[in-house]
A and B are shown apart, each in its own frame.
Chain A
């Protein structure tokens, strides 16, 4: 990874791709923790409705919470392998709790021939 990372430009709102190259979300928010000498460090990436709702105007946030729920998946920064145009992870989506809905919908679609 580059020595200096611009979080807003290079991480936030970029695609998240797992170790197999499967798209599994977008970085919806970033969680900071406290480092050794009190300096803020990036603790995790947050993916899911719970993470992006906070970025909407108040009324829309309420409506979307009602429609989509509050689910958030937390991806520890240590699982980020590489930063290119997308955020590449070092593990599979399933192991990190990402892409659950895709698998759920896939299980319905599997019954149709040609899926």
Chain B
């Protein structure tokens, strides 16, 4: 298909895949608690994920090598193993939360029992990934996730004070800030940053680039998709903050369930708004479940040297296939215990911050290495931004656990 169509689809897919259950919850509640004051984190995190996805995509296009083989080559075996275990724990927990979220959504649409729907979701995911080509998985769930645009429309329909919204993009502390409020603000800032920069997005994006057989000529395409697609995705995330501020804050509601989020669009657009939101959330959560399971399998296979890829028949990449199936099974097992999916994802996002520096450093190291990347190595801008974000996520990683404890897991 034409390059233009491919870029267009890539952009839409990147936008539709931007939000998952953790980000949905954190953005709505960030808006609920701090009005527009955390919007600058959305901007900061989005630029960060753009920088690193662009580098990882460029590496995939030029070296045909995915992130985890780089990690092992660059960091050595023990450090690589540590990163693998940590990254995959986060992948597993995130996948569990998304699977749980999908079951909750199906329950809202059907009224059937939750645990039965969890098993149905497991079967659904395994069948979809087993039988659907990679490109179609990307497209179906990415484009379906675009239904989340209903939240952008809802945010506008709520007539926010646009001056206040604009001011939110400038870093500042919340008004009426006591010591405890500042800690909560910092925690939400770190958690929001983490949920936007979750490594699985980068790993999956790069592995996908290899599945799609990108070549050096695709580097520019990669850049356009990342910048435009993620900007649009960030607009969605920012809208969720606005919805939290304009709809939930005045009603003193802290949205904690997918259905709670849908009440906002239901209020603005009646049943149409309700259905579109529920459907959009389904594609967003399901897409994230698939991405995290595949990401875990990619990580493991790349680290261990197994053949991998959905472009191969399962029998030709057998341990890879077994891996993603195992992740779905384990993820379902986690939520079938009755643990609230939203709590699962909150823990995993905080844990993920701690892992971020380990995950992103090798990407930067390789992308800037002229010996490996030749003329496609980082320019000055990519280097500056790459180092800036590495420093930023290291600070966030150090602050995450103390903040988590001090704010009682972000609740008080």
Chain A residues at the B interface, C-beta cutoff of 8 Å: 13-16, 22-26, 28, 47, 52, 55-57, 85, 99, 101-106, 108-110, 112, 114-115
Among A13, A103, A112, the residue within 8 A (CB) of B77 is A13
Contact status B73-A23, CB under 8 Å: no
Taking CB atoms, residues of chain A closer than 8 Å to B317 are: 102
In whole angstroms, what is the CA distance A85 to B69 when docked? 10
Q: What are 15 A-B residue pairs whose CB atoms fall within 8 Å in the complex?
A: A13-B73, A13-B76, A14-B69, A15-B305, A22-B307, A23-B305, A23-B308, A25-B305, A55-B78, A56-B81, A85-B63, A105-B321, A106-B316, A106-B318, A112-B314
The answer to whether the Cβ of B343 comes within 8 Å of any Cβ in the partner chain is no
Flag whether B407 is at the interface (Cβ < 8 A): no
Once the chains bind, are B319 and A101 in contact (CB under 8 Å)?
Answer: yes
Name which residue of chain A comes closest to B304, CB basis. Answer: A26
User: Which residues of chain B have a CB within 8 Å of any CB of chain A?
Assistant: 63-65, 69, 72-73, 76-78, 80-81, 130-131, 303-308, 313-319, 321-322
Interface centre among A13, A28, A56, A112 (most CB of B within 10 A): A13
* Majority DSSP secondary structure for residues of B touching A: helix
Residues of A within 8 A of B304 (CB): 25-26
Distance of A22 Cα from B65 Cα, bound (Å) = 14
Complex CA–CA separation, A114 to B325 (angstroms): 14
A110 to B322, CA, bound (A): 12
Q: Could you say which residues of chain B place their CB within 8 Å of the CB of A104? A: 318
Q: Which of A106, A108, A110 gathers the greatest number of chain B CB atoms within 10 Å? A: A106
Using CB atoms, name the residue of chain A closest to B316: A106
Return chain B residues, CB-CB under 8 Å to A55.
Answer: 77-78
Q: How far is the CA of A49 from the CA of B186 in the complex (A)?
A: 43
Contacts of A13 in B (CB 8 A): 72-73, 76-77, 80
Q: Are A102 and B319 in touch, CB under 8 angstroms?
A: yes
A15-B69, A56-B77, A109-B321 as given contacts; A115 in contact with B307, CB under 8 Å: no
**Would A106 and B315 be within 8 Å (CB), given that A13-B76, A52-B77, A56-B81 are in contact?**
yes
B258 to chain A, nearest CB (A): 31
Q: Which residue of A lies closest to B77 (CB)?
A: A55
> Within the assembled complex, what's the spacing in Å between the Cα atoms of A14 and B65?
11
B306 pairs with A102, CB closer than 8 A: yes
Q: How far is the CB of A114 from chain B (nearest CB, A)?
A: 6
A115 to B306 alpha-carbon distance, docked (Å): 17
> What residue of chain A has the Cβ atom nearest to residue B321's Cβ?
A109
Instruction: Determine if A102 and B81 form an interchain contact, defined as CB atoms under 8 angstroms apart.
Output: no
> Considering the chains assembled together, what is the distance between the CA atoms of A104 and B315 in angstroms?
10
Which residue on chain A has the smallest CB distance to residue B302?
A15
A46 CA / B322 CA spacing, docked (Å): 25
Q: A23-B307, A102-B319, A105-B321 are in contact. List 19 more A-B contacts (CB 8 A).
A: A13-B77, A13-B80, A14-B73, A15-B69, A15-B305, A16-B305, A24-B307, A26-B72, A55-B77, A85-B64, A102-B306, A102-B318, A105-B322, A106-B315, A109-B318, A109-B321, A110-B315, A112-B130, A114-B130
- Chain A CB within 10 A, most for which of B69, B76, B80, B131: B69
